[in-house]
Amino acid sequence: MSVLASMDWVLPEAPYDMWARGELAEYLHLPKDGTRVEIVGGVVSVSPGPDIDHAAIVSDIQEGLIIAKVASADFPWRALQGTDLNLIEIGDGYIPDLTVLHHEILTKARASRAKHVFPYQLQLAVEVTSPSNARKDREPVVGKEQRLTKWSGYARTGVQWYLLVDRDPRSLGITLYAEPDQGTGRYQVHSTWKFGEAVMLPEPLNFRFTTELWQPWAD
């Protein structure tokens, strides 16, 4: 049975199953230039690789983790960029801009040569919006969004913290979400910051990063 995934794509089976096996990008003949293929709300989502500003923001956040690790031998968190996150509970597959997990969990994943990480392993997921995918990173808008977004997917699978960096000039800002309700797929807003401010994430994350060079995307 063929599955209509998106637009004109007709797949031989469920897109999540192909994504989980690492076959979907090849089947769609996607270029190997950073193009990302994800399953969001059960639907195939393809987006271009990040631009320099987007990538630099992610690196700034990761640098905050590295500084905290250097400052304290007991700092437990490690970060991965562009790693597949298998949301098996809801049949989605994301590629977060940054995932933060405990060093012991990362060590075990490396030892097992894991291809994916899973929501229960994460302490924090980070997404930085781009014009092509901003809607999928944000909270669904009631009356407009008919499908789940990554915001609701992270909440439904119990990711404890979600940091959204929105580069849209119309909604510019940084929001930390917490207290995921897996039943409703919703978060509570914990903290917000403006571009240019120093960001200090609360316990148990307990690391900071600067944003003075961050800019909105170009219209």
Per-residue pLDDT tens digits for 75-104: 999 999 999 999 999 999 999 999 999 999
Both structure tokens of 11 = 């797949």
Residues 178 and 119 in one domain: yes
Instruction: Check whether residue 105 and residue 145 sit in a common domain.
Output: yes
Is position 21 within any domain?
A: yes
State pTM to two decimals.
0.92
- When divided into structural domains, the chain yields a total of 2
**Angle at CA 84, nearest 5°, toward 60 and 10?**
130
Q: For the segment 155-174, what is each residue's pLDDT rounded down to a tens digit?
A: 999 999 999 999 999 999 99
Q: Is 37 helix (H, G, I), strand (E, B) or coil?
A: strand
Q: Which domain holds residue 33?
A: 3-45
**Both structure tokens of 6:** 């998106």
Clarify whether residues 190 and 146 are in a common domain: yes
Structural domain includes residue 124: yes
